[in-house]
C-alpha cells in the first residue's frame, strides 16, 4: 500500500516516514499543495496523510476540499498539532476518514490507517458488515490484513478463491491470502463479468482459465485444477461461449 503525506515540518516528516515504513507501507512526502497535486497521478497513493496547517496559502483542509471537487475518493487522515475547535469543525465537514493529533506513535498511526480504510469501505459500499472489520475492499482492490499490516491486492490479480470453514483463501499468481468472510459477501462485491462461482467452494476469475476438462469435471486456472459442479456448469459454459 502506498501512502502520500503532505507535511512541511521536516523533522516530523522524517518521523512519519520511519513510522509508515515500519508498518511495511511505501511512503512519499511533499511539503505543499502544488506538489501534492502534481504527484497524485504518477504516485497513485492509496491513502493521504494531510497536515492541516501548512506554510503557504493552501492548508491540508484546502487540499481535501479540492480533492472532493475533483472526486478523488482517497481515504484521508488529518494530522495536526493544534487542538482547535474551529479547525476540527471545518475538518468534520470534509468527512475525513481519521483525525489524529501530534505527536503520533506507531500504534496510533496503524490504528488510524486501518480505521481510515474501514471507513472508506463503508462509504464506498454504503453498508457495514462485521465480516469486513479487518479485510477491507474498495472499488478495485482489497486491503487484507497480513501480520501487522494491510496488503493491497487488486481485483484483477485474483485468479481464484476457495473457502475453508469461515475463511476464504484468495489466490493470485504468486501468493495466497486468507480473509474472514463468506463466499456470498465476496461474490456480491466482485465484478460479475469476470468472476464466476463454479463450485460450492470455488470462485474463479474467468480471465485466468487455461483449459476446460469436462471429463474430469475440472478447470485449469493459473496452474491449478479447480473442480466445477454440475449445478454451476450451465453458467460456466455460457461464460466460455461468450469468451470464445
Which DSSP category does 168 fall into?
A: E
Per the CB < 8 A criterion, the answer to whether 87 and 62 are in contact is: no
Cell of 47: 491513502
Residue 125 has pLDDT above 60, yes or no: no
Q: DSSP 3-state helix, strand, coil percentages of the chain (rounded to 5)?
A: 40, 30, 30
In this prediction, residue 92 carries a pLDDT of 65
Residue 174 has pLDDT above 90, yes or no: no
Peptide bond into 103 cis (omega under 30): yes
Q: Which residue has the higher pLDDT, 29 or 142?
A: 29
Beta strands in the chain (DSSP E): 2-6, 26-30, 47-51, 76-80, 98-101, 135-137, 141-146, 149-154, 160-164, 167-171, 176-180, 195-199, 202-205, 209-213, 218-221, 224-227
Q: How far is the C-alpha of 144 from the C-alpha of 158, rounded, in Å?
A: 13
Grade residue 133 by pLDDT with cuts at 50, 70 and 90. Answer: very low
Cell of 234: 450451465
State the sign of the Cα–Cα–Cα–Cα dihedral 154, 155, 157, 161: positive
Residue 63 has pLDDT above 80, yes or no: yes
Q: Which CATH class is domain 2-125?
A: alpha beta
Residues of the chain with CATH 3.40.50.2300: 2-125
| Selection from 228, 187, 195 nearest residue 211 by Cα | 228
How high does pLDDT run on average in the chain? 80
Residue 73 has pLDDT above 90, yes or no: no
In this prediction, residue 138 carries a pLDDT of 63
Residue 89's SS3 state is: helix
- Digit-coded pLDDT (tens) for 11-20: 999 999 999 9
Of 42-51, 75-84, 207-216, the poorest mean pLDDT is in 75-84
Grade residue 220 by pLDDT with cuts at 50, 70 and 90. Answer: very high
Residue 161 has pLDDT above 90, yes or no: yes
Residue 65's SS3 state is: helix
- Digit-coded pLDDT (tens) for 181-196: 788 888 878 888 889 8
Q: Which residue has the higher pLDDT, 25 or 231?
A: 25
CATH of the domain spanning 131-243, picked from 2.40.50.1020, 2.40.160.40, 3.20.20.70, 3.90.1640.10: 2.40.50.1020
Q: How far is the C-alpha of 238 from the C-alpha of 233, rounded, in Å?
A: 9
Residues of the chain with CATH 2.40.50.1020: 131-243
Which DSSP category does 95 fall into?
A: -
Residue 244 has pLDDT above 50, yes or no: no
Per the CB < 8 A criterion, the answer to whether 156 and 142 are in contact is: no
Amino acid at each position: 500500500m502506498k501512502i502520500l503525506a503532505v507535511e512541511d515540518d521536516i523533522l516530523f516528516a522524517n518521523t512519519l516516514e520511519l513510522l509508515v515504513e515500519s508498518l511495511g507501507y511505501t511512503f512519499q512526502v511533499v511539503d505543499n499543495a502544488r506538489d501534492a497535486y502534481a504527484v497524485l497521478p504518477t504516485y497513485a497513493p492509496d491513502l493521504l496523510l494531510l497536515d492541516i496547517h501548512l506554510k503557504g496559502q493552501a492548508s491540508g483542509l484546502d487540499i481535501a476540499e479540492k480533492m472532493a471537487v475533483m472526486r478523488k475518493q482517497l481515504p484521508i487522515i488529518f494530522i495536526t498539532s493544534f487542538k482547535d475547535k474551529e479547525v476540527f469543525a471545518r475538518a468534520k465537514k470534509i468527512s475525513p476518514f481519521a483525525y489524529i493529533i501530534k505527536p503520533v506513535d506507531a500504534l496510533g498511526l496503524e490504528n488510524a490507517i486501518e480505521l481510515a480504510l474501514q471507513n472508506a469501505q463503508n462509504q464506498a459500499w454504503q453498508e457495514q458488515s462485521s465480516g469486513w472489520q479487518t479485510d477491507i475492499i474498495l472499488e478495485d482492490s482489497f486491503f487484507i490484513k497480513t501480520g501487522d499490516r494491510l496488503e493491497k491486492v487488486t481485483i484483477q490479480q485474483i485468479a481464484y478463491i476457495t473457502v475453508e470453514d469461515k475463511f476464504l483463501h484468495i489466490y493470485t499468481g504468486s501468493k495466497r491470502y486468507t480473509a474472514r468472510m463468506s463466499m456470498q459477501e465476496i461474490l456480491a462485491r466482485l465484478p460479475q463479468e469476470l468472476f464466476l462461482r463454479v463450485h460450492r467452494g470455488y470462485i474463479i476469475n474467468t480471465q485466468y482459465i487455461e483449459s476446460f476438462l469436462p471429463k474430469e469435471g475440472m478447470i485449469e486456472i493459473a496452474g491449478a485444477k479447480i473442480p466445477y459442479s454440475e449445478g454451476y456448469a450451465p453458467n460456466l459454459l455460457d461464460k466460455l461461449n461468450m469468451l470464445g
